[in-house]
Amino acid sequence: MLDTAKLAFSTINQRRSHRDFMEYSSQQLTNSFSEALTGNPSNSNTPQQTPGLLWHCSEPTPVSNPNLIAYFDEVAELLGITPSAMQSDDMLARLSGNQLFSGFTPYSACYGGHQFGHWAGQLGDGRAITIAELTHNNRRHELQLKGAGLTPYSRTADGRAVLRSSIREFLCSEAMHHLGIPTTRALSLVTTGDSVIRDVMYDGHPAPEPGAIVCRVAPSFIRFGNFELPAARNEQDNLNQLIDFTIEHDFPEISGTREQKVAKWFSEVCQRTAKMLIEWQRVGFVHGVMNTDNMSILGLTIDYGPYGWLDEFDSQWTPNTTDAQGRRYRFGNQPTIGRWNLVALANALASVIEDVEIFKVGIGLFDMTISQGMLSMQCNKFGLNNVKEFDEKNAGIINRAYELMQNSAVDFTLFFNQLTKVDLENPSVDSLLDTFYEDTSDLDDFSSWLKSYCQIIRETNVDRDERHDTMEKTNPKFILRNYLSQLAIENAEKGNWEELFKLMELLRSPYELKDSDLNYATKRPEWAKHKVGCSMLSCSS
């Protein structure tokens, strides 16, 4: 990728024109969302309430000097876009919002949401515009520009995005994908040449920052909030339209009567959400803003804002300074919030679906998937035999490990990497010492925990190679630590993109790391502990 990333950095003069590629056939380029659902097809960029609508046409606002900084070629491939087409002037014009895909009505979706537990009314795509919906190899994808200018849903904001938050979304989308976690994807990162004013820590110090646009890709960007708003507005026809559209387009495998379809669909959403959350807990990802408008109906990780990755394990941690008081969206609370959000979705759907039993079944499935899935995921992390007869023993040893980690400062990722390599016959706590951020008085406790742990493994006759293999596949070596992104951002803001390209390369194989790259898999350095952008992030983006 490094090569293509560098290529993508080529100047406008070197880009070739690929107008032919842009002329999609009607099978490839469709308008299914806007054709099936009620919206307003006249372009508007004026913030407004849009009762009665599920979308509004909004064309991107042109930018002054777009530059394609980088793109992920596997995402381009997914869309059937060749490297030379990716680097063409025509493509840059579209990825910056300076030109439209002919035959497609660009739109912003209208949705609401519960923010921090409170109903917030109409929100909508305030700076996201869907610029194409295309099918390649029988798979449908939406292309959405984030930061492309004002839409009817921009409320009091400017519709733009800054480079730092765009880099964070660009990198993390793909990092999650390569970790095996359901997510929206990122195609491209374009700088706009225009600056954007932001008050990073909301402390009265607004300053200009470079603007950027990420093109993100997903089969659909529909959120729980898309269903909540028509329910709150008592727009039953719109809500029914949206339910039927979603099932037909995004869950085509579901069959039966309408009631049966809705029941199966809701259960599927519950299960997918549970599976996504288990994966977040596996790798130490904290989303930061799990409002219902940031929950994908497809169970994808969506809207990368003030997210973060655990350095030292702390179930109470959230990177989002806006949530520092209540810590609603802290690491340990994510499954509970996922459930809360599903209940909010169920409440919305219940305004048009009579049989409320189906929602109870779905939520029950969520609970079951979470409790079984979490234990099974933890057994894999610890390399324990995941069979029922050992459930209690396993749960005991796992819980004790988390208790100890919570009370000390232990690096979450490195702890499991070290545990994979521990000498099971002759365990020594020394092998874990490198994973501690501070001297710990709990060393004796860790030592006796390690002995009991190794004893369980020996007693249960876990196949050693299999254990090693499972642990390596479950515990990543490379995670996109906040400070690594921050370093890439600081360099990028000075015009040096090398760190960004390096991270793009590393995040592709998080379970393997070359010896020469081991410096990217170390503990967070001390300087980053309390630094803005590393451990503290706001919603300002």
Q: Which residues bind ligand AMP (CB under 6 A)?
A: 123-127, 153-154, 157-160, 289, 294, 303, 305, 539
Smallest separation (angstroms) from ligand AMP to the CB of 123: 4
Residue type, 526: E
Report the distance separating Cα 324 and Cα 301, nearest Å: 22
* Residue (97 or 305) nearer to ligand AMP, CB: 305
Which of the listed partners (ligand AMP, Mg ion, none) does 476 bind, with a CB threshold of 5 to 8 Å by partner kind? Answer: none
CB 270 within 8 A of CB 369: yes
Alpha carbon of residue 270 to chain centroid: 17
Which residue has 């973060």 as its token pair?
A: 308
The residue annotated as part of the active site, out of 73, 90, 293, 411, is 293
Report the distance separating Cα 205 and Cα 532, nearest Å: 14
* Residue (154 or 485) nearer to ligand AMP, CB: 154
Concerning whether 3 is annotated as a catalytic residue, the answer is: no
Residues that bind Mg ion (CB under 5 A): 294, 303
Q: Which residue is nearest to ligand AMP (CB)?
A: 126
Tokens standing for 285? 């990802």
Tokens standing for 302? 């969506």
Which of the listed partners (Mg ion, ligand AMP, none) does 154 bind, with a CB threshold of 5 to 8 Å by partner kind? Answer: ligand AMP
Tokens standing for 212? 């950027």
Smallest separation (angstroms) from ligand AMP to the CB of 42: 20
Tokens standing for 184? 């929206």
Helix (H, G, I), strand (E, B) or coil at 177: helix
Report the distance separating Cα 362 and Cα 383, nearest Å: 31
* Residue (191 or 294) nearer to ligand AMP, CB: 294
Smallest separation (angstroms) from ligand AMP to the CB of 281: 22
| Vertex 218: Cα angle to 212 and 223 (nearest 5) | 95
- Give the ranges where 135-220 is alpha helix by DSSP (H): 163-179
CB 186 within 8 A of CB 75: yes
Smallest separation (angstroms) from ligand AMP to the CB of 457: 43
Smallest separation (angstroms) from ligand AMP to the CB of 213: 12
Residue type, 234: N
* Residue (398 or 537) nearer to Mg ion, CB: 537
Q: What are phi and psi of 139, to 5 degrees?
A: -115, 130
How many CB atoms lie under 10 A from the CB of residue 67?
Answer: 18
Residues with a known catalytic role = 293
